[in-house]
Amino acid sequence: MTGQIFDRLVALVSLVVLSPLMALIAVAVRLSSPGPVLFRQVRVGLRGKPFEILKFRTMVDGADRLAENVSPDGDPRITSVGRFLRAWYLDELPQFVNVVKGDMSLVGPRPETPEYVALYTPEERRVLEVRPGIAGPSTLGHMDEAERLASVADPAEHYREVLLHERVQLDIGYLEKKSLVYDVGLLLRQVVAIARH
């Protein structure tokens, strides 16, 4: 069984098993503030191909027009339900649909938006050689990102100049380690880290 078939099967089963929870989240998002249940955003995937990533909406509708695409701790655009979803990474659950469609894998580099990919060095663009993942080394290594962004004067600039490149370096390391065993181990570490977060 290839890695992509395994990912798609796991994602499909996860969608079925988690469908009651996802339905409850959808209702909570809808009741928490006006706007759509799902947040859709263009990200850059395998070999630079753009795709539309899915998340449960955690911010007020139109938040992308109010500030740049970074979110420090205490961001007033985040709804009360959104804050809870982000704390437990539940906003990422719709990305199992992205995995079933073949846009993403369970594990891999986190996909960035086009404006940030444009800042990659030629070496950093190596992360586009594999499918992006729901979880990955940069997700695990940057679980405190919102707090770090809140501690600086200009969060957007700090992300562009520092955190973006830190994240990509972690994900480049994945290219040499990726295997089914490594991916399963990383997923388990991510689950444990979320539970302890």
**What does the pLDDT look like over 74-100, one tens digit per residue?**
999 999 999 999 999 999 999 999 999
Q: Tell me how many degrees the CA angle 20-182-146 measures, rounded to the nearest 5.
A: 60
pLDDT at res. 4: 86
Question: Which amino acid does the sequence have at 94?
Answer: P
Kindly report, residue by residue over 116-164, the tens digit of the pLDDT: 999 999 999 999 999 999 999 999 999 999 999 999 999 999 999 999 9
**Cα 130–Cα 37–Cα 156 angle in degrees, nearest 5:** 55
State the DSSP string of the chain: --HHHHHHHHHHHHHHHTHHHHHHHHHHHHHHSSS-SEEEEEEE-GGG-EEEEEEE--B-TTGGGTS-S---TT-TTB-HHHHHHHHTTGGGTTHHHHHHHTS-EEESPPP--HHHHTT--TTGGGGGGS--EEE-HHHHHTTTHHHHHHTSS-HHHHIIIIIHHHHHHHHHHHHHH-SHHHHHHHHHHHHHHHHH-
Which pLDDT value is given to residue 2? 65
pLDDT at 197: 73
Residue 136 CA from chain centroid, whole number = 9
Question: 1 falls in which pLDDT band (50, 70, 90)?
Answer: low
pLDDT in tens, 52-81: 999 999 999 988 777 788 999 999 999 999
d(CA 121, CA 107): 23
Over residues 41-55, the pLDDT tens digits come to 999 999 999 999 999
> What pTM did the predictor assign?
0.93
